[in-house]
Chains A and B, each alone.
Chain A
């Protein structure tokens, strides 16, 4: 597997790039066995022939994130993933779980490499741009990742600081905003969030709104469930709130 280690060392922009000439020749010559010399060094093997999926990939989840006066709050049901990426960034992901787990690790790795190379942290906006550009070569494939990156940028050198919230998706969308909800349960969460989210919320109020929104979504959406993870991002970094069980909230 020495070719794998080689392309892991490459810079992120080239990672996973599929050149169109190679892919079209690969498709047309499916009968012939590709000799090792014709294999491009950066081409993942899986793209030469598509394998039928054994079962339909599920994209079921509910994640949300919003900005308020106390920072950024991110929440997700535990069927998706919500975890701290680096000290100042939290990412929630939804889509195909395997893709999300991989891309989270890739992004964390790239952010750490940036910090080591340049001596400063990449801003949330920069992290969103980086992830978007890394995902771009896979546009049109079956990759499905939708992430919201929540962070707090600090530092005097940066022209912008404070909380940042970005939504990045594998079809190329990259949006900045103050409120996002992603996943199959997101409509249920959106209406609760639209009702309750205001700039002047306290941390406790924001936590309870986020918990309520995920709970309502898990109640109605079959593909969301289990427990609720809540993360709060401030200038000091992120903290995870208590992992709240599904039956903790008020029943109706």
Chain B
């Protein structure tokens, strides 16, 4: 019965949807407040104990260059020391010109990506135009805001192409940050990726150079970070939309790298 058409935040009121007949009851989006009768106090003794520590290990990155936007990520989902899944999709398309890379809690990211996709599609149907990337980021940030201070943990990078303003890269996280930039890397492997990206990134890269730079950055991060690994996913977004590169197993890359190093050590090949 309750329709999520108004949200009150410390006196700020804004309408997220103007329709009165949104069929899905969205009250589950609202975090428990002190007034709610069914709310139990944030006392750890009454909340359910986690069976394993949640982990936020990942490496995702995105950058803008002359040929569009590149988004890359590893595919490992870890839970404490266990590799829960070696083949996860951390980059999800929202619509034809927007993909989002996710890091943080896997469950939260999956849910919020679906919520975002739904809201964007509803906007498009109601207003007959697509919401801009900046508007999408703002919408997501405002939807996440009520959950600030709870244990929701999502850090998403929206990588897309606006018809009006070209390539865009915006980082949104559940802490409330919303940042536009040219290069972002998120996750436990991000420092390793930053080192490679900062060294190699130029505006004038060709498409192949940009793709190999992104692959190299994810590979170096997976090499050093225990919580990143397995494969690398790569998306390239241009004015024509996104295209996905075939998923590559980084094990092969590692073997090639080791082979090259051992050859060099044995002195069999000339240094290039």
- A interface residues with partner B (beta carbon < 8 Å): 187-192, 194-195, 198-201, 212-213, 216-217, 219-221, 252
- CB distance B265 to A200 under 8 Å? yes
Shortest Cβ distance from B196 into A: residue: A191
Map CB proximity to A onto B176-192 as digits: 1 under 8 Å, 0 otherwise: 00000000000000011
Given contacts A190-B224, A191-B220, contact A198 B195 (CB under 8 A): no
B209-223, CB < 8 A from A? 216-217, 220-221, 223
CA distance A213 to B223 in the complex (A): 17
- CB distance A187 to B264 under 8 Å? no
Q: Inside 8 A of A213's CB, which chain B residues have their CB?
A: 195
Segment among B45-53, B99-107, B198-206, B244-252 that sits at the interface with chain A? B198-206
B42 within 8 Å of A (CB atoms):
no
- CB distance A198 to B199 under 8 Å? no
B158 within 8 Å of A (CB atoms):
no
- CB distance B199 to A192 under 8 Å? yes
- CB distance B191 to A188 under 8 Å? yes
Most buried by A among B191, B216, B217: B191
Most buried by B among A189, A213, A220: A220
B193 within 8 Å of A (CB atoms):
yes
- B interface residues with partner A (beta carbon < 8 Å): 191-196, 198-199, 201-202, 216-217, 220-221, 223-225, 261, 264-265, 267, 271
Interface of A is mostly: helix
- CB distance A188 to B195 under 8 Å? yes
Instruction: Report, nearest first, the 6 A-B pairs whose CB atoms are least far apart.
Output: A187-B191, A191-B195, A191-B220, A188-B195, A191-B192, A199-B265
Q: Inside 8 A of B223's CB, which chain A residues have their CB?
A: 194
- CB distance B271 to A195 under 8 Å? no
CA distance A195 to B220 in the complex (A): 8
- Which of B191, B198, B261 is within 8 Å of A198, CB to CB? B261
- Which of A188, A200, A212, A252 is within 8 Å of B192, CB to CB? A188
CA distance A219 to B191 in the complex (A): 11
- CB distance A217 to B264 under 8 Å? no
CA distance A172 to B271 in the complex (A): 38
What distance in Å separates the Cβ of A142 from its nearest Cβ neighbour in chain B?
25
Q: Inside 8 A of A199's CB, which chain B residues have their CB?
A: 261, 264-265
Q: Inside 8 A of B225's CB, which chain A residues have their CB?
A: 187
- CB distance A194 to B224 under 8 Å? yes
What distance in Å separates the Cβ of A116 from its nearest Cβ neighbour in chain B?
39
- CB distance B194 to A188 under 8 Å? yes
Given contacts A187-B224, A194-B223, A195-B220, contact A220 B265 (CB under 8 A): no
Shortest Cβ distance from B261 into A: residue: A198
A-B contact pairs, 29 of them (CB 8 A): A187-B191, A187-B195, A188-B192, A188-B194, A190-B192, A190-B224, A191-B192, A191-B193, A191-B194, A191-B196, A192-B199, A194-B220, A194-B223, A195-B216, A195-B220, A198-B261, A198-B264, A198-B271, A199-B261, A199-B264, A200-B264, A200-B271, A216-B194, A216-B195, A220-B191, A220-B194, A252-B198, A252-B201, A252-B202
Q: Inside 8 A of A212's CB, which chain B residues have their CB?
A: 199
CA distance A233 to B198 in the complex (A): 29
Shortest Cβ distance from B260 into A: residue: A198
- CB distance B195 to A189 under 8 Å? yes
CA distance A194 to B220 in the complex (A): 7
CA distance A194 to B202 in the complex (A): 21
CA distance A81 to B267 in the complex (A): 35
CA distance A71 to B202 in the complex (A): 33
What distance in Å separates the Cβ of B263 from its nearest Cβ neighbour in chain A?
10
- Other A-B contacts than A191-B195, A198-B261, 15 sampled, CB-CB below 8 A, are A187-B195, A188-B192, A191-B191, A191-B192, A191-B193, A191-B196, A191-B217, A192-B199, A194-B220, A194-B223, A195-B216, A198-B265, A216-B195, A217-B195, A221-B191
CA distance A24 to B264 in the complex (A): 56
Q: Inside 8 A of B196's CB, which chain A residues have their CB?
A: 191-192, 195
Q: Inside 8 A of B202's CB, which chain A residues have their CB?
A: 252
